[in-house]
Amino acid sequence: MIGSIDWTALSVFLFFFVLVTVMGFIASRWKAADDHAKLEEWGLGGRQFGVWITWFLVGGDFYTAYTVIAVPALVYAVGAYGFFALPYTIIVYPFIFLVMPKLWKVAHASGHVTAADVVHGMYGSRALELVVAITGLIATMPYIALQLVGMQAVISAMGLTGEFPIIAAFLILALYTYSAGLRAPALIAFVKDIMIYVVVLVAVVLVPMVLGGYGAVFHAADLAFQAKGGATGLTLQPQQMLPYATLALGSALAAFMYPHTLTGVFAAQSADTIRKNAILLPAYTVLLGLIALLGYMAHAAGVKVTSPTDVVPVLFKTLFPSWFAGFAFAAIGIGALVPAAVMSIGASNLFTRNVWKAYVNPAVTDAGEAQVAKIVSLVVKVGALACIIFLPTKFAIDLQLLGGLWILQTFPAVVFGLFTRWFRAGALLAGWAVGIGGGSFIVFSDGLVPVHRMILGGESYTIYVGLLALAANLVVAAGGTLLLNVVSPRRTARA
């Protein structure tokens, strides 16, 4: 029962937490270079991660603790609509295969560490570089905070109360990230992903056996949704199909604009490594689909919770012995540490290169860059921790919703320049401003929901706000480029 300490589960949890802590501290000597005093070494692991390390690292920061908690929670709450994460992860892999190798080549050739570096290199605009960097920083902060939500859920399930456990966990994370940089989460990701696979595969085999098979699971979930009414159910309602599709598409386009996912790309040793990962990463989509089914299993197991966030921890405590529940909670807890570390590193890389070096100290040395990044990574973690301790969880969730919309508006500046230099920096900057401003206005006007209902030709359409904002962004960027090409045609040939 939540509230009384489960010592068996807690002991197993602590064993694996200590294991990855030790791994985090020794990671600084793993694949180490002669000179650690460079941002590329600390923040990108020396750009030497091969196929398997990259696979675990990108998967580790793409499929987070909050994913394991939130996706089943959404499926538990609304049914089929919660599965939008599956097509979005399918759509994103062709995008990775086609775009990310080109981005890696541009970054590697010029020593770029961040997407904002790449944008400045392509367009020569400090203003465009700055807005890409600031957008990445703001969008990442609530994402880190949500990893704490996932960890908080499993810590509470073991009976630990108060803020001290979560503070202690993130202090340890901060220390070994400061010491080892990206090598720490890359090494820990091996343990985290293997544990998650074990937990999910055991759950999807044994839980239905206990509950009478998948037929019984789906039947129980169907009855629960019928009793709840509304737009919940095992299948999508007709009115849900367009928002479902646009959410999936918009989420896919935004996913690899985040600093943490791009950090995994920049850290790869070659463009071919990224292509091979685009082929291998769909294995995580299979895992995500299995994770989502836990939401239906919770209905079949009779799980009743006040917050959907508690669904997965309560399900494991209900159906599994304490030692396995502790193992599952450790997998989820470690699943918070890996992405949180990569996110803080990605954010610190952005601040160091595109704010500190660009505006505060252009003459900063390589060692100075690395030191600034280390300090900023600590500040970012403390900020995320403060959000969870002093602000309602809903605040972080709402900010993460806006973060997805905002980071999507950097897509034209980051991606288009890899294929054409037709767009002008000023026009892209104006498009970004319109997308950010217009999208944010719609979301706040609608009460912080991700989709917007609009009437066209007498018909009602509900579409993901991020895509609407991106469409406005592109119209302004294209129109602005045409106008600038007329006003100052000599500047269109910039390489």
Identify the residue whose tokens are 């001290």: 164
Residue 214 to residue 212: CA distance in whole angstroms = 7
Extract the tokens encoding 98.
């086609």
Extents of the domains making up the chain: 7-399
Higher pLDDT, 347 or 308: 347
Give the class (CATH, top level) of 7-399: mainly alpha
- What average pLDDT score do residues 335-356 get? 91
Residue 309 to residue 312: CA distance in whole angstroms = 7
Extract the tokens encoding 369.
């860059």
Residue 362 to residue 376: CA distance in whole angstroms = 17
Lowest mean pLDDT among 58-62, 93-97, 120-124: 58-62
Residue 35 to residue 37: CA distance in whole angstroms = 6
b/e map 181-215, b = 16+ CB within 10 Å:
bbbbbbbbbbbbbebbbebbeebbeebbeebeebe
The torsion of the CA quartet 441, 446, 449, 453, rounded to 10 degrees, works out to: -100
Q: In the chain, what percentage of residues exceed pLDDT 70?
A: 96
Q: Is the dihedral of CA 50, 56, 59, 64 positive or negative?
A: negative
CB neighbours of 340 closer than 8 A, spacing ≥ 6?
A: 144, 147, 148, 170, 173, 381, 384
Identify the residue whose tokens are 């646009």: 246
pLDDT digits (tens, 9 = 90+) for 385-406: 887 777 776 667 777 778 899 9
Report the candidate in 370, 314, 295 with the shortest Cα–Cα distance to residue 42. Answer: 370
Indicate the pLDDT class of residue 57, thresholds 50, 70 and 90: confident
- What average pLDDT score do residues 264-271 get? 93
Q: Is the pLDDT of residue 1 over 70?
A: no
pLDDT digits (tens, 9 = 90+) for 443-494: 999 888 888 998 887 788 899 999 999 999 999 999 999 999 998 885 544 4
- What average pLDDT score do residues 176-191 get? 86
Residue 147 to residue 163: CA distance in whole angstroms = 15
CB neighbours of 466 closer than 8 A, spacing ≥ 6?
A: 250, 251, 254, 404, 405, 408, 439, 450
Higher pLDDT, 149 or 35: 149
